[in-house]
Each structure stands twice: as C-alpha cells, then as structure tokens.
Structure 1
Amino acid sequence: MIPGAIGFTAPWLLLALAALPVLWILLRAVPPAPIRRRFPGVALLLGLRDDDCVTDRTPWWLLLLRMLAVAAVIVGLAGPVLNPRAGGADAPRGPMLIVQDASWASARDWSAQIGLLDSLLAEAGRASRPVAFLRLSQPEPPVLRAAEDWRSRLTGLEPAPFSPTPAMNDAALAALDTALDGGLGDALGAGTLETRWFSDGLSRPGRDALLAALERQGTVTVHESPAPVIALTPVVIEDGTVQLTALRARAGTARDITIEAHGRDPQGNARLLATLPMRFEDDATTADGALSLPAELRARITRFQVAGQGTAGAVTLTDDSLKRREVALIAGREDREGLELLSPLHYLEQALQPSAEILDGALLEILPANPDVIVLADVATLAPGEEEALLDWMDQGGLLLRFAGPRLAASDVSRDSENPLMPVRLRAGGRSVGGAMSWGEPKTLAPFPEDSPFAALDVPQDVTVSAQVMAQPDPVLAERVIAQLSDGTPLVTRKRVGAGQVVLFHVTANAEWSSLPLSGLFVQMLERLAVSSAVALPDLAEMEGTTWQPVQVLDGFGQLEDAGTLPGIAGERLISDALGPDLPPGLYEGPDRRLARNVMQAEDTLAPSTWPASIPVEGLARAPETPLGGWLLGLAALLLLADIIASLALSGRLIPAPATRSAASLGLAILMASVFLPDGASAQATPPASDKELRAASEVVLAHVLTGDATLDDTARAGLEGLSETLFFRTSVEPASPIGVDLETDDLAIYPLLYWPVTPEQPLPSQEAYARLNTYLRSGGMILFDTRDANVAGFGASSPNGQMLQRLAEPLDIPPLEPVPDDHVLTRAFYLLQDFPGRHSGRPVWVEAAPPDAEKIDGMPFRNLNDNVTPVVIGGNDWASAWAVDSRGNPMLPVGRGYAGERQRELAYRFGVNLVMHVLTGNYKSDQVHVPALLDRLGQ
C-alpha cells in the first residue's frame, strides 16, 4: 500500500461530482437578472436610499463556497479512508503465504516484524483466509492453518543465528512444491496465492528460483526494514594489537559506531572491558580499527560486539587464538656468556616472542603466576619441593615442555622407573648419529602420523638430527610417540598428567644436536602444542577425526546460551560447513583448545538485497486506517453555515449596509482560514516556554525527557497521555496534557514525575543540567528510568541501554536501591499489585532501599518505612509503549497476545496510577503504623 493513499468505501458516489458544473449554472441563474425598463417616474426616487437591497447576481466567491460544500458532502458520503487496507472486491480471497528469511540480520527489527505479522494475520482472520509460513532458515513444507492459530504462535518465533544458504533456498523451493501438491494447492481454487516476504535486507544466491515460483502462484509483496545491516568479522592479531573490521550492507553517509569488548573481571563478573570508536566513511562499506590491550586484559575478553546492534552477526566470539599465552623459560645452564646463539633458550625466545608473554625467574617464583606453559631446557634435576609443585600445576591443566641436552643425557633420571615429570623412560648416555666420533649420518624426520598433533605439517628435508636421548623400550612407548626420526626412533613424546601434559623433545632447544630449531617447522610444532597462540583456524587435515563439543552457542539476537545437550560436531565440519540448525555459531571445545565459530568469517562481505521492479517493497511500519468521511461532512456543515451568514450579510439583515461587504469578506476569510489551516496552525504554533511552565505550574502535568529520537519521544508523550487519561477517569487526579522537557533549558521543579526512556544514542546532559536534576531529586521529584530492554536483558546485564543508564545515572545523587519489596507503598498506593509489567514483563523494578532500622510491628501488615518518596524508579519493561494511545484513545502498540496481553496492559496502567499516587501523596498509607498510638490518644 502506498503511504498516504486514500481509498473509498462507496466510490460510486463520486459520480455525483459530475453534476457540479450543472449546479454552477443553476446557481448562476438564481436569482434571475431584472429586465431594464425606462420609467419617467423613477426620477422622483433619485437620491433615496433603501436599507434592504438584493443583488442581481450571486457573487463568485459565494458560488465557490456552495460548490465546495456540495463537493464535501459527496466525497464524505463516498467513505474516504486514509491508508486503507485491502478490502471489498479488490481484496485477496485466496490463502496467504508468509515467507521469512528469519536470519541473524532479521533480529535488528524483529519486534517490528512480529507487530506487522500480527496486523496481517488479524486482517486474514477477519476475511477467513488460511495462512501458511515458510521460514528459509529452517525450510519445511508450509501448512495452512487459521490465522488466529498462527497469531497465538508468534511469541515463539525467533530469528536464527545464521543465514539461509543456497541449499536451504533449494529445500524451501522443494517444500513449496510439496505444499502445492497437497493442501496449499487445493486451497488455491478460491483465488491466487498472496505472498508476504519478510526480507532481512541482504542478497543471497539461490533466491531467484523461489521468487519466480511464488510469482507464478500470485502476488508477492516484500517487507524490508530500511535500518542498516552491520556485522563484525573475527578479530585478527597483528603486531600485538587486536584488529577489528566492521561491515555494512549499503554504502551511504558517514556513520560512527562503537565496538565493545566484553569479558570478566578478576572476580569472574561479566563487564565491559574496553570500547573502540570506529567510523564508516562516506560511500564505504567497511570500517577498521585497532585496539591495543595488555595481555592480561586481552585474555579476559570473551566477545566483541557492535554497540546497539542486537544481532548475532554483530558479535564475534573469542577463543584461545586471542589469548596471549604466558610461557616460562627455564634453562639448565646459562654459562656461555656472549655466545647468544648457543644459549639453550635463544631459539625458543625468538619463536615465542611475537605470540606469547615470556616469564623469567626461578621455578617456585613463577608457579604462583600460573603460566600456561613451562619450558625446561636441559634441566635434569629439580630442587626440593619443585617436583610436587609442578605436579600440582599440571593437574590443573598446565603444559610442561622439556628439551634434552648433555645434562639430561648424563643424569639417571627416569632410568629404572618412569619419572612423573617425563613422558617415557630414558637410556643413559644418549645417542650420536653424526659427527667426527660417529660412523653414521645425521637422521632426517619421518612424516608425522595421523594421530599426532603435528599431522599434515610438511617435513623439510634439510632438518636433520645428529644427537638425541633415547627412550627405553616400553609397552606404552608407541602410543606416547608423536614424532619420530626416519629410522623409527622417538623424537617427541607426550604423556597426560591429570588435566595437563608433559612433552619431551629428545633433542636440544638450540642447534647443538639438530637443525630443527633453525627451521620454520619448529615454530609450527610449538603452535600445534599450544605453546604459542595460533591465530588462524586449524588446517582441515588436523581437524579430521576430531570431535568438538559445543559449550556455548549464540541465538539470533547475539546472546550467549549454554549448549546443553547439543551433540558434538566433527572437526572437518566445524571449519568447512556453513552454519545451520545443527551447526550454530558459538564456542566449541576440542582435544587441546577452544574454537569460536562466528556468524561472519574474515573473507565474508554484506550485499544489499535487490528485487525485480515488478515486486513492491514496503517497510515494516503501517500507518493506521483513518476514516475521513466525518471530517468532510463536518467541513460541509461549516461551509453551509458560512453560506447562511454570508447570504444574510449580503442582504443587509445581519449588519449595517455600509459595512456589509467588507465585514462579510473578513468573516469569510477568518472562517476559511480556521477550516483549511492544519491543526494547531496559528501565528504562534509553539507556545513560549513561559506559557508551558505556567500551565505546568497551575495544573498537574506529567513530563518526559526529550532524548532526540523523534519516534521514542512521540511514544513517550503518547504513553503519558494514556496514563493521564486513566488517572482522569479512575482517580481524583486530573492531569493536563503531558509535556516534553529539555534538561538543558526547562525548569524541572514544577513537574512531579519525569519519565526518562533510555536509548544508547542520546547525549549526556551538561554539568548544569545534572545540577538541576540533583536539585530536583533532593526536593521531592521522581525520575522513572525505563531502559525498555526487559525482553532481551536483565538488570545489570551488559545491554546497550543498560550501559547508557549507568553513564546517565553516574553523576546523579541516587541513594542505595533494592528491588521493590512486597510491603512497599508502590504495591498498594491505589491498586494492590505484586508485579509491574509494561509492554514487557519479568524484569525487577528498583526503588530506594528501606532504611536499616525499618522493622515490622506486630499486627501491622508492613514495615515502618520512611516518609520519603523514592527519588528514582528503575526498570526496563517499556511502560510508555503499554500506556500509549492515539488521538482517538486506542492503544498504539500491541502488548502480548489476546486476553493475556490486554490483562498485561491493564496491570501496566495500574502500576502507572500507583506510581503517580505515590509521587503526589508520599507513603501516606505507611502511616497506618501510627494507628495504635492515635487510637490510644483518642481514648484518653
């Protein structure tokens, strides 16, 4: 429907407009022009004046006035309707098919989609049209049901945390064909199929075939939000900084966004750790930024998200790749001063420096820092207490990495029995396979076995080993070897110890016994052992044969949920398959690490949707139907009244003759101006601030804080208007129309209640405004903060609205708060209430905490609370949306479904009444605690 279009309930009456020219001729002919006759006696009448005169011709402006009156009657009787819904003979008669992309991008305006769906289903229900649903993110054959049946299920619909794939589009086409062969095809005998496609605004391959199939069955209308789609790609670590890239679907004007880094503090509490402002330049679809954080803080981050974008695509989860691991390096000897290349730790430091934090010091001094990895390079014996401390640390998941050397080869450690800090038993003396004292040649490395963590790594032919420590033959030796030489002797062995492990390289960490530390393979082997951070995804070959268990998964709104009993995912599917119902985005735990599978990948882009010119594309907002017939008939009555007055004036029966024409013209001009000027139009459309303050000071006026968001401010005003009407009809309070206040300029002391809806984009007030707000709170005023996010967040959660509330309230003088207790006066100021829902329910409402000495007296139903009114009330149930009414007193926004929804709206009104009565009367009901003393005095 074209916005602002006008329809008619009786369009055939408009044919009467063709009679207007005939009416013009008739009006011009009445009264008839007099015939001129020369009569000599007329000379006797010259100079005389007759008070009563009749014109010989109707003035043109009076003719126009009468023509307009008749036209208004004709058009008004034709039943004009502004923004009409389809009805009558042109209304669709066949079944309706609702097609939803229902992807993560749909989450940004999901509530608007559900609201429009509810309106469409209500119309279909009135016309007795069956409805079917087809969700492209979870394609199933559409089944026809009654519209009211679908309306009851709308609350259970949620967007998927992934996008429809070409395979899903093909499955949706097959499901449509199946339905057309069944019940849907049988229902098409009553008319064509009307399709309403709810698009998420993104273009995807494989959609054209489904669209063509739907067009062959009937009309297709697309509903798509104009709000931009913004996503965040996985983070990349470069030069020690976190590189972030945001995407948007459509290039346009410059736009600023904020990236938030969420994680846990040292006490384990979830909180916002850092923010990064970014900017989309003009005509740019990407925005880049770098975040430099200390390693300790970076390790605590669990997710990055675009502030204000409640979608899974605007969230990127972090895994072990982001954490800069702490590695402690301890060498058995450091006696080669000046010979850096011969140092046992030189090559380890070079390999680990870019990707890990290196710790130095004695072993017992390092263990309290709980490093991720401890490296012992040619350490044969440990000091007393070090072995027990190492075992405790490994039981908690630590990785002990050991390298051989002359000292380890010459020691008797792990000879006769297995040492708990060694993966295998060792032979004495070591083995030399190359050099002046050996007849053999240096040995090369054998390919890594499939069950080794080094599987699929290329083995350079120039990597050779000239000496090593040998492992004693043992029944468990074969299963602990993860790398070996070409002659089959072990090169790297590994053993599990508690939740941790110990790994032994049978060669030195420097180039004395092998050229391995000189090669890039050495760095790759350290990454595979998780000694250093592996930024990139594991290779497909490495993932084959592994199973990854989901730990936490994302929903379509970007919220993390426990995976519960979801089955494990094969490693090769985890990194290669597209996301879907059986592979949701989230955190997956594998044998040695955690891996994050995000909605967006590094190479992904966002493309805006394009539709054929034959497909109408509408938004998600629908203007309400407005009948205009009554207004036009009223206008016709006013015009006819003006005609009577003008006719009397022209005949001299209304005012003296000399002023007849001028006064009639002036009166007509005033009347026409009052009729045709828009409502509220005057020389001064907006009253000056003094008039507004005078009205607020002389009457009870509820006020809302202007946020700068026109839609939100209009909703707040309509909500307070609805609450004021409820107070007028149910209580002795008779509020005037609500007023929007500017915190920077308006006087707040004259308003008993300020409703403050919180939005992430609103600016912070100035210091002067905060000073006025604190004065207002201290002098008995109340502020109702409404974050409007109870459907997606709890109190204290890190939602964008909740974070903005913390920033807004920080400079305010707010006392300690607590959830509304059962005996608070808000629960019985006018109505008896136990909860305080708005458009949403379930979130606690916070008020000023009771004083510590508030004790309950025997026989009294509640405690002796202080007599002060709580200065602030904080919640997120979106009360203004539940209170809001239009100009005719009808609810503007839906609340819940059916009777339950209207019951929830009624409770919202009752909470508003209790709140205003509490503001105006204080805790007067708490004075019942003084009843015994008053009765005692009366008795005396």
Structure 2
Amino acid sequence: MTAFLTSLTFATPWILSALLILPAIWWLLRLMPPAPKKVRFPAIQFLLQIAGKEESRAKMPLWLLLLRLMIAALVIVALAGPSLNRTELTGTDRPIVLFIDNDWLSAGNWDIKEATLNRMAKEFYAQDRLVYIVTTAHPQNNSDYSLKAVSPDSLSAISRQVHPLSQGVDHRVFEQYYPALSRLQSPEIFWFTNGYTTTGSETALIDALEKIADLGSLTIYRDKELIGPPIIRSVSNSGGGITVEITRPANSPARPSMLLARSESGKILEKMPVVFDGITSQSTSVTFKLPNEIRNDLSRFEIQNSKSAGSVFLLDDRWKRRTIGLVTNSAEEDTPSLLEENYYLENALLPFYDIKKNTLSQLIEEDPALIAMRDTAALPAKQSSMLEKWISDGGILIRFAGPKLANARSGLLPVPLRAGNRNLDGAMSWGKPAKLGKMPENSPFSHLTVDPDITVSKQVLANPSPELSQKTWAQLADGTPLVTADDRGRGKIILFHTTAKMAWSDLAISGLFVEMLREISFLGSFSPSQSASDGLLAPLALLDGFGRPIDLASQQSLSLSYLDPQATDRGLYASGYYGSPQNRIANNVGPNIDRYEPINLTKVTATTRFYEEGKSLSLMAPLLSAALGLILIDSLIMIFLLNGSRLLIRSASTKAVIITFIASLSVFPASDSYAKDDLDRLLQATLETRLAYIVTGDTQIDEMSKAGLTGLSKQLRRRTAIEAAQPLPIKLEQNELIFFPMIYWPITADFEPVSDQAIEKINHYLKIGGTILFDTRNQLAAGVSNGNFTRTPEGMRLRSLLSRLDIQRLTQVPTDHVLTRSFYLMQSFPGRYHDGELWVENTLNAAGNDGVASIVVGSNDWAAAWAINFEGRPVAAMVPGGERQREMAFRFGINLVMYTLAGNYKADQVHIPAILERLGQ
C-alpha cells in the first residue's frame, strides 16, 4: 500500500478540491419522495381510499446515499488525472537533461533502468519537452562539451540508442558540461546512476553535482538495493596454475557463484566456486590447475550468471603458458645447486613456462617453443646443424655468455663477438661494475623499468657493426650491448652477454631478469607492434556492457601507449580483442579499475528516486468505468424501488438498463483469461501433446503464432505418429511452461522486459528438456545489414534476453546436425523467408537432455509459413515465393518437433546406412 501511494500522482490535482462539495451533495441527496402507487378505478373507490392525514417525504436509505456519494467522488478523482509511476516534473516548459550511466556496472539492472527511462521518455514526448542526453560511459568525442537536443523520434526509441558499454564511467562529464548547463533556463536534471565509483575522486564528483544542482533541480535515480557484480581484476600465471583475482564491493551480500574457464569455442574446460571470506572481505582468488595442453586452449574466464563485462576476462597469447627446454647433461644430478646456472634459470622461468630438462638433442626432437642454453662452448657439427634447422622452423634459442662462450667460436650467435671477456672490476680495471642503461625503443623490453641497483662486472663484447644498434635489446649505461637478438628464418637467437648466475652479474637474481624472460615468452605468439598501424591496434572482437559481442563499425582503435600500466584514462576503450588474428591483445575491465566503492549520495543535495519496473499507468479510464458501473447499478436499484421486484425484469426500461450494463463491462479492462493455470487449462496441456507460443501483446503477431502452430500441428497429425492437439498461448509471467515439448517465441522490438522470476522459470524449463524456437521474423529487414539479424531492434532485444539465460554458446547448425535428419533430410531451413541462418545451442560437451539443444534461433518467420486459416488454406505469402518453400518450412517444423521429442536417436550409427542410401551415396 505504501508503494502504491508513493507512486500515485495527479495531472491536475486542483480538481480534487471538488471533493469538498461532497457534504453539499449529501444534503441534496439525503431526501427522496415516496414511491407513487397504482390504484384501480372506479373513481369513488379511489376517493374513499384517500387518507385524511398529511404524509411527509421519506428519507433516502443510507446505503443508497453512500453509493451516490461514491459515484461523485470517483468522477472527481478521475477528472484529476491520477496515474501510477508518473515522473514528477516541476514544469512544462523547462528543458530536461538526462545523464545516464551506461557502463558495464549498469548492465545487471538494465531492464528496470530501461523501463524507467522509456516511461520518462514517453512523458517528455507527450509534453513536448526539450530533452538533452549525456551518456557518461561513451567516449566523449564532443571536444567543446556542448549539449545537443534529442529529436522527438529519437526520444521515442531512446532505449534502442542507449545501451550498456564495456567502457568505464567518466563522472568528470558533470564538470565538463557545467558551462553548457549554465546556459539553460532552470533545467531539470536527472542522473541515472549505477551507484558506484571506480575511478577519480568521490569528493570531486559530489562537488560537481552540488554545482549543477544550483542551476535547477537535480533528481538521482538509483537501485533500491545496491548490489554490484563481482569483477575479475587480474589473471596471472603461477607455478601451481593460473590464479584469478576477483573483487566485489564492500558489504555486498554473499551470493554463490561459479567461475568458468572457457575455450575459444565456448566449451567449459573447468569451473570453480567463488568464495569470499566473510561479509567484509572484498577480494578472493581462485586457482585453476590445468594440464599445459588444456591451459593453452583457454580463451576467457567468466563469472556465471553475472551480466556484466566486468565479470569477463579475455585471454590472449600473453597468458598462454609455453614450454621451454632447459639444456642439461645426462651426468648431472637432479639436486639443484646455487653454483649452477640452471638453478637460477629454472626459478626465473617457472612462473611463465612449463620446463622440460634434457639434453640438447633430445629437446630438439621434442620440439618445445623455446630452448634456454647456459654458457656453452662450440657445439658438435651435427648438433649445430639440428639446432639451426629447429631455429629456422620457428624455434627461439636463448643463450647465456660465460667463460666457455668467451673462448669459443660459434655460429649460433645474433652478433659476432670479440674473443675473451670484458672485466669491469678486476685488478687491472680502472672502472667499477657497470649499471644498466635505458632500454632501446626497438626492444621488447622498452616498457620495463630498469633497476638502478643491478650491476654487471663481466660480459662478452660484440664487434661493432652498422646493424648492432638494431639488434640490441638491452644495454649498459655506457651503451655496451647486454642483450642482443637476431632473426634466423622464422625463429630467433637471443644472447645475454653475461652469465645466468651471479658470477658476472647480479641480473640473474633480480625481478627485471624474470620480466625479461616473460617478454621473451611472447615472441613468436604475441607482438602488438607487428599489428599496430601508426601506433594503433584495430578493433578485432569487442564486447558490450553485458559481455556480449558488438558491432565494430563505430569502435575506436587501441593506442599502444595504453598498454603501459601507468597510462591514464584506463577505461576509455571497449573490452575485447585488438590487433590482428595472428597477434591480438585483450583489453579487460578489471585491470582498468582503481577502486570499487559505492557513492555516498546522502552528501548530495538532490531528490533521490528508485528505478521502477512498472509502466506509467493512467487511472482515469478505470475510475470513470467504475463510476459508470455504479450509475447503472443505481439505475437498477431505482427501477426496483419504483416498480417492485415482480416488474423488474418485465419493464422495458429495465431491460434497456441491463443491456447497457452488460455492454458497459467492455469498458473495464478485460479479465485475464490466463491469469493462472486453472484445472481446465492444466488438463488441456497434459492430456494431449500440444505446442505452445508466447503471447507478445501484439494481436496480429499472436494470431499469426496461433495460426502457424495450428498448421504445423495439422501436418504433424497427417505425416507422423504425433497426435498434436490445438496449440495453447502462454503468458510468460503467469503460465507454466513445463507441459509443452516445444515453445514458439516471436521476438518483437517492444517486448516487455522479462522479470527474474520468469527467467528462472525459463531456465528450469530448458534444464528439464524443453526447447524454445526464437524467431525474430525480420530476415527481410536484416538483409539490409548483410543478413545479420542481430543488428536489428528485434535482434538486440533477443540478445538482451539470451544473455540472462543459463545456456551454452550458440553456433550455426552444422551440416551433420541431427536436426538435418530427424525426420526429413534437409540442409536449409526456410520459413516465410528463405535465406536466414539457423543457430542452435552448442551441446557438444553438454550433459543431460540427450544432447538436444534447448535453444533454436532464426529470423525466417516460420509461423507465417505454417499459418492456415479456418478453411485450412495458407495465410501468408512466401518470400521470394513458391509452395515448395512452404513445404520445406513444414519439413523443418516437423524435424524440429521430432528432434525435440525423440532426441538424438538419429545420431546412432545404426541409421547411417539408411541415410547414405537415401542420399544416393
């Protein structure tokens, strides 16, 4: 009741003052003259019955008086224009400014935010208000931060234009747009906030809000319960596996969730529970211990049932754990020694590589990605030849200098060396151990920070040459090369001009040494500079705020400077892959976040409201309908009182009133014939096999769905053993789904947001074996977008819905899918349109449901192709046309129903001979 009263508003509240005249109406209506009597003649008898006393007027019954007062009150309240969930506006001529947080944090509650936004937009449109919209997560290309009014047509479709992005919110827009706001005349400012701050200063944000609140009125819309999604902050390789760091906001309620590790195809490789230590804990870590072969198939981590790009972490080649061969001698003991170079190499390589230790010949046969070789003299000719071929085929050799290499002649070097070594701290040396200099720009180590405490006392020197500077990856402070590299065929040779132990340098025990080896691990598999054009990486595969793929047409390229951990504006670019398919880099939300805290909105001088799911509902028509009904009841009562009960039905006037009363019932909102599954409907759904369709609210579409499933059911009865009865409609929020093997769902652009309870109902239906055919029915319109129906309004609505379902990734129907042969042999699936693609849930590694896909998605408008009228004739024309296309549409429908009911039985090998014979093979 409290929620009802707080959402009730009046368009013209001054009319309610008329309720003050109800006492006067009471006084006027409280008396009623006595009912006239019918007396038979003769007149003498009439005169004799006249009473000699004076009769006073009888009083009106109290209940009748209250009835008429109620009629008057209903009319007055209705004329005041009551409505529910109407946006309270302070004027009709003041401009409106909407600041909308449309980042990845807003994705979780976007349905309710979208409903609120649509409701407000309709009211602004009806009042002909001037509206300006600023999205806080969109890259601001407007350098002067000027406000541009939204056209009325754009305002009516605002929810299709504003959607969650994977960029972070930049709340500096309040300060940046302040000059433009100050030029407006008393604007009404609304802020649709996600409730959190992830970058910048909260104090600066509150100060900016206070400044704009002084310009007009500020209203902040937020969630009733602030629940931020858990986000994946980072992923790191460790000796024991892959560790995923997860963060949640403070005091967020604990909700059970699972962390999924997926491959490129969407296959779940492993899943682990996400557990936070107590209520106050804001971070936790999950470690996956996977074999190297499976680990390198990893493509992404995602938190299950979290609809946010922050809960997705994409992996590129930087996170793949590669195998490196460490050259040993067979006579060496397994026990590590602090005097051995391999001890330092093994500890430095372990975080990023899987290490295989063996002789050089054995390692070349095993063909690892890289080979690390400590100080070694000249190799035998056969080994040298094998090693050269391995490098030219794409292998990477890492060598370390020492006394042996200094006194040997070897061809497997990136640059020619001088004989002997350079001693910087010997008795005959005038200098001191040298420090490291700045990393060259052309080096893969260029972004690494040089430790000033690292010194080098001995090294081997390279012979000067014109190419030496281009082959130098690291150098001493005096410019002497410390690390050189050169290409050999498709591989590389990399030489550290000092030892891998502490004999010549303390580089081997530094963190810089570990980071250098990590950068080397990227070689051959990841090199951003190779894919960059003018310092920019082109967008390759990006995500929206929900963590779903998006169109790349309007996306920005990624700057190479953004890869620097110290880069500013970390949330500027969309999450996803950049570069080229051969060399791609993943940009994720988590590493770009400074903090994750709720905003203290109590410090802001503003009106605070909550997002509402309900639409703006006018109560004028229902109240006037109720008043009309009470007036008719009053008329019936008066006829009864005047004519008596015996004449009530016989009176012509009474009959007219009754007919009028019955007709007036149409004024009231129609009763929901599907308000709940009563016994009759349950019996209809369970005693016979029936198909069903989702009611969209569009009468034309719902009638076509009914006619289409009626036609398909008729063909099932005629051609198969399935005795399908008439289809039934389903109102998603009210009716049960589990009785129907297949449900047809036509997607419309304005389909109402689906509640969480309905989503749970759908997930349960899919889990127990049900199948839903989603049909956007817009392949003809999608042809304008190169056949991509996901770019249409219906496709965007479908993507929003599917993102909330617990399903596997969708894939196009392969040529050998059971759906292509469950009853008829077919490779295309036409409906009213013939060239749309068909997508099904990828059940390759799914357990349960006999491997039957729970989701089938397309755009060919199958219901129109199946639809028949009451005479059994087709309703809709085929595009491009032909009864052959309609026949193939029926065959697809029959295949789909048989696939749903019979499962994967046609996948059994026993059917292969018959199918091959049918194909003429």
TM-score range, shorter chain: 0.5 to 0.7
Q: Equivalents in 2 of 1:373, 1:609: separation in Å?
A: 53
1:789-809 alpha-carbon deviations (Å, 9 max, x no partner): 946899999975686157999
CA gap 1:215/1:347 in 2 versus in 1, 3 angstroms = closer
* The one of 492, 508, 511 aligned to 1:501: 492
Partner amino acid, structure 2, of 1:325: R
SS, match of residue 124 in structure 2: helix
Answer with 1 or 2: which has the greater Rg.
1
SS, match of residue 128 in structure 2: coil
Q: Equivalents in 2 of 1:223, 1:740: separation in Å?
A: 28
Q: Equivalents in 2 of 1:798, 1:736: separation in Å?
A: 22
CA gap 1:635/1:75 in 2 versus in 1, 3 angstroms = farther
Q: Which residue of the partner structure matches residue 301 of structure 1?
A: 298
Q: Which residue of the partner structure matches residue 83 of structure 1?
A: 84
Q: Which residue of the partner structure matches residue 207 of structure 1?
A: 205
Q: How many residues align?
A: 762
Partner amino acid, structure 2, of 1:624: S
What are the residue-to-residue correspondences of 1:283-432 with 2, within 5 Å? 283-284=279-280, 286=282, 288-294=284-290, 295-319=292-316, 322-331=319-328, 334=331, 340-367=337-364, 370-382=367-379, 386-387=383-384, 390-391=387-388, 393-395=390-392, 398-405=395-402, 407-413=404-410, 419=411, 421-428=412-419
Partner amino acid, structure 1, of 2:588: N
1:259-306 alpha-carbon deviations (Å, 9 max, x no partner): 333333xxxx45443333325687557352413232333333333233
Ranges in structure 1 where 5+ consecutive residues have no aligned partner: 34-52, 414-418, 535-545, 656-670, 705-715, 774-781, 836-841, 849-870, 880-906, 931-940
Q: Which residue of the partner structure matches residue 720 of structure 2?
A: none
Contact 1:448 / 1:482 at 8 angstroms: preserved in 2?
no
Q: Which residue of the partner structure matches residue 457 of structure 1?
A: 450
SS, match of residue 258 in structure 1: strand
In the alignment, structure 1 residue 599 sits paired with structure 2 residue 589: yes
CA gap 1:594/1:403 in 2 versus in 1, 3 angstroms = farther
User: 1:916: Cα distance to partner?
Assistant: 5.6
* The one of 273, 276, 283 aligned to 1:277: 273
SS, match of residue 149 in structure 2: coil
User: 1:577: Cα distance to partner?
Assistant: 0.8
Partner amino acid, structure 2, of 1:631: S
Q: Equivalents in 1 of 2:382, 2:797: separation in Å?
A: 48
For normalisation by structure 1, the TM-score amounts to 0.65
Q: Equivalents in 1 of 2:677, 2:610: separation in Å?
A: 37
SS, match of residue 177 in structure 2: helix
Contact 1:444 / 1:464 at 8 angstroms: preserved in 2?
yes
SS, match of residue 228 in structure 1: coil
Contact 2:329 / 2:358 at 8 angstroms: preserved in 1?
no
Q: Which residue of the partner structure matches residue 610 of structure 1?
A: 601
Q: Equivalents in 2 of 1:769, 1:808: separation in Å?
A: 21
CA gap 1:154/1:366 in 2 versus in 1, 3 angstroms = same
SS, match of residue 207 in structure 1: helix
1:37-95 alpha-carbon deviations (Å, 9 max, x no partner): xxxxxxxxxxxxxxxx999665443443444344445545x2644327579x9752132
Contact 2:86 / 2:616 at 8 angstroms: preserved in 1?
no
CA gap 1:735/1:688 in 2 versus in 1, 3 angstroms = closer
CA gap 1:571/1:21 in 2 versus in 1, 3 angstroms = closer
Instruction: State the identity as a percent.
Output: 23
Contact 2:484 / 2:494 at 8 angstroms: preserved in 1?
yes
User: 1:173: Cα distance to partner?
Assistant: 2.3
* The one of 801, 804, 808 aligned to 2:807: 804
Contact 1:819 / 1:846 at 8 angstroms: preserved in 2?
no
Q: Which residue of the partner structure matches residue 162 of structure 1?
A: 167
Contact 2:535 / 2:560 at 8 angstroms: preserved in 1?
yes
Contact 2:274 / 2:286 at 8 angstroms: preserved in 1?
no
In the alignment, structure 1 residue 148 sits paired with structure 2 residue 150: no
SS, match of residue 617 in structure 1: strand
User: 1:634: Cα distance to partner?
Assistant: 3.1
Partner amino acid, structure 2, of 1:619: Y
CA gap 1:823/1:351 in 2 versus in 1, 3 angstroms = closer
Q: Which residue of the partner structure matches residue 623 of structure 1?
A: 615
Q: Which residue of the partner structure matches residue 504 of structure 2?
A: 514
Q: Which residue of the partner structure matches residue 220 of structure 1?
A: 218
* The one of 633, 637, 642 aligned to 1:643: 637
Partner amino acid, structure 1, of 2:400: F
Q: Which residue of the partner structure matches residue 818 of structure 2?
A: 815
What are the residue-to-residue correspondences of 1:885-924 with 2, within 5 Å? 911-915=862-866, 917=868
In the alignment, structure 1 residue 258 sits paired with structure 2 residue 248: no
1:886-906 alpha-carbon deviations (Å, 9 max, x no partner): xxxxxxxxxxxxxxxxxxxxx
1:354-383 alpha-carbon deviations (Å, 9 max, x no partner): 442111234454346553421122333445
* The one of 686, 689, 693 aligned to 2:682: 693
User: 1:412: Cα distance to partner?
Assistant: 3.2
Q: Equivalents in 1 of 2:774, 2:205: separation in Å?
A: 44
Q: Equivalents in 2 of 1:10, 1:65: separation in Å?
A: 25
CA gap 1:761/1:389 in 2 versus in 1, 3 angstroms = farther
Partner amino acid, structure 2, of 1:171: Q
Contact 1:327 / 1:359 at 8 angstroms: preserved in 2?
yes
CA gap 1:320/1:225 in 2 versus in 1, 3 angstroms = same
CA gap 1:794/1:327 in 2 versus in 1, 3 angstroms = farther
CA gap 1:354/1:80 in 2 versus in 1, 3 angstroms = closer
Q: Which residue of the partner structure matches residue 97 of structure 1?
A: 97
SS, match of residue 289 in structure 2: coil
Q: Equivalents in 1 of 2:155, 2:766: separation in Å?
A: 51
What are the residue-to-residue correspondences of 1:518-597 with 2, within 5 Å? 520-521=509-510, 524-530=512-518, 549=537, 552=540, 554-557=542-545, 558-559=547-548, 566=557, 568-570=559-561, 575-579=566-570, 581=572, 584-585=574-575, 596-597=586-587
User: 1:233: Cα distance to partner?
Assistant: 1.2
Q: Which residue of the partner structure matches residue 189 of structure 2?
A: 195
Contact 1:324 / 1:532 at 8 angstroms: preserved in 2?
no
CA gap 1:357/1:82 in 2 versus in 1, 3 angstroms = same
Q: Equivalents in 1 of 2:425, 2:108: separation in Å?
A: 67
Q: Equivalents in 1 of 2:739, 2:111: separation in Å?
A: 36
Contact 2:71 / 2:630 at 8 angstroms: preserved in 1?
yes
Q: Which residue of the partner structure matches residue 448 of structure 1?
A: 437
Contact 2:811 / 2:841 at 8 angstroms: preserved in 1?
no
Contact 1:271 / 1:798 at 8 angstroms: preserved in 2?
no
- Greater displacement, 759-768 / 474-483: 759-768
Q: Equivalents in 2 of 1:918, 1:847: separation in Å?
A: 33
1:866-920 alpha-carbon deviations (Å, 9 max, x no partner): xxxxx9895447x9xxxxxxxxxxxxxxxxxxxxxxxxxxx96xx5444565999
Contact 2:866 / 2:874 at 8 angstroms: preserved in 1?
no
User: 1:223: Cα distance to partner?
Assistant: 3.4
CA gap 1:117/1:498 in 2 versus in 1, 3 angstroms = farther
Partner amino acid, structure 2, of 1:64: L
User: 1:450: Cα distance to partner?
Assistant: 3.9
* The one of 181, 196, 199 aligned to 1:176: 181
SS, match of residue 503 in structure 1: strand
Ranges in structure 2 where 5+ consecutive residues have no aligned partner: 36-54, 523-533, 649-661, 712-725, 748-753, 778-788, 843-851, 876-882, 889-921
Contact 2:696 / 2:746 at 8 angstroms: preserved in 1?
no
Q: Equivalents in 1 of 2:393, 2:208: separation in Å?
A: 54
For normalisation by structure 2, the TM-score amounts to 0.66
In the alignment, structure 1 residue 61 sits paired with structure 2 residue 63: yes
Partner amino acid, structure 1, of 2:63: W
